[in-house]
């Protein structure tokens, strides 16, 4: 997906008087901002997916029936460092999106603001953790349903739902925008839509039955991470066409 960097550099050489800014529909976007946004975004996505190493850490994942967010609930052994990772991931992704901006080869992207909201809700969720591990504790689930838990528990729930909604809307908008394109972005956006159509019913069953949440939740983490990277690495403008020179005579 690095092909966008070369295109931005090409635009810059074509507009040297534009104060180190690219031309076309992205007059406010500099090469340094594009590169910085992409670097921060990759770092943010790596941190966002801290769950990858959890199954390999002894004693961290006590049951497959819970969700990874339960590990950062109040009272959990590793809650503090995991909350800090969630906070760092949200900050990095938010900064990356703001640096990259909504500009694209086809003009401003409608899904960009939804991804910004996704990162913002991630910040809220990291700041207000679960009061208890509702995916692992029946007593916690009962207290949750009777609204007997601390307010920050329900703030975390609302922020988590908002994260899923905003990221899903972003994927849908990206799919609508690129569905007629036969390039990497268009194909991946279509794949993400198919993944979500299959995964959401499974997530609903896992949540209502309190079973195997740790197996389905990573599907969404990976889908949302892919969407963030697509947004950051999408080419800024279309590659210039090479003029065809006809032979004389």
Q: Give the per-residue pLDDT at 6.
A: 47
Instruction: Please identify which residue in the block is written with the tokens 């906070």.
Output: 87
Q: Give the per-residue pLDDT at 194.
A: 98
Q: Give the per-residue pLDDT at 55.
A: 92
Instruction: Show pLDDT as tens, one digit a residue, over the chain (249 residues).
Output: 444 444 444 444 444 433 444 444 444 568 889 999 999 999 999 999 999 999 999 889 888 888 999 999 999 999 999 999 999 999 999 999 999 999 888 789 999 999 999 999 999 999 999 999 988 899 999 999 999 999 999 999 999 999 999 999 999 999 999 998 878 899 999 999 999 999 999 999 998 988 889 999 999 999 999 999 999 999 876 554 444 454 544
pTM assigned to the model = 0.84
Q: Give the per-residue pLDDT at 39.
A: 98
How many C-beta atoms surround the C-beta of residue 58 within 10 A?
Answer: 5
Q: Give the per-residue pLDDT at 104.
A: 87
Q: Give the per-residue pLDDT at 249.
A: 44
CA-CA distances (angstroms) from residue 211 to 33, 204, 206, 229? 44, 10, 5, 30
Q: Give the per-residue pLDDT at 230.
A: 96
CA-CA distances (angstroms) from residue 200 to 105, 121, 192, 222? 31, 20, 12, 14
Q: Own/partner pairs for 243-247, CB < 8 Å, 24+ apart?
A: none
Q: Give the per-residue pLDDT at 28.
A: 56
Q: Give the per-residue pLDDT at 18.
A: 38
Q: What b-and-e string marks burial along 90-111, b requiring 16 or more CB atoms within 10 Å of the CB?
A: bbbbbbbbebbbbbbbeeebeb
Q: Give the per-residue pLDDT at 66.
A: 87
Q: What is the CA radius of gyration of the chain?
A: 21
CA-CA distances (angstroms) from residue 44 to 31, 56, 163, 197, 219? 20, 21, 15, 26, 17
């Amino acid at each position: 997906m690095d092909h966008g960097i070369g295109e931005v550099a090409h635009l810059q050489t074509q507009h040297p008087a534009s104060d180190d800014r690219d031309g076309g529909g992205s007059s406010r976007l500099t090469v340094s901002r594009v590169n910085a946004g992409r670097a921060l975004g990759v770092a943010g996505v790596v941190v966002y997916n801290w769950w990858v190493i959890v199954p390999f850490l002894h004693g961290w994942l006590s049951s497959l029936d819970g969700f990874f967010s339960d590990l950062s609930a109040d009272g959990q052994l590793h809650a503090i460092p995991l909350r800090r990772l969630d906070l760092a991931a949200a900050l990095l992704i938010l900064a990356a999106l703001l640096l990259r901006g909504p500009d694209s080869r086809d003009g401003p992207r409608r899904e960009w603001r939804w991804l910004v909201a996704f990162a913002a809700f991630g910040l809220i969720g990291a700041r207000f953790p679960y009061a208890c591990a509702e995916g692992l504790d029946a007593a916690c689930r009962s207290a949750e349903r009777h609204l007997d838990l601390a307010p920050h528990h329900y703030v975390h729930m609302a922020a988590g739902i908002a994260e899923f909604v905003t990221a899903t809307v972003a994927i849908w908008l990206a799919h609508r925008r690129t569905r007629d394109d036969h390039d990497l972005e268009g194909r991946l956006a279509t794949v993400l839509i198919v993944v979500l159509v299959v995964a959401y019913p499974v997530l609903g069953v896992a949540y209502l039955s309190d079973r195997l949440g740790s197996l389905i939740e990573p599907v969404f983490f990976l889908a949302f991470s892919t969407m963030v990277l697509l947004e950051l690495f999408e080419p800024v403008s279309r590659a210039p066409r090479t003029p065809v020179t006809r032979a004389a005579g």
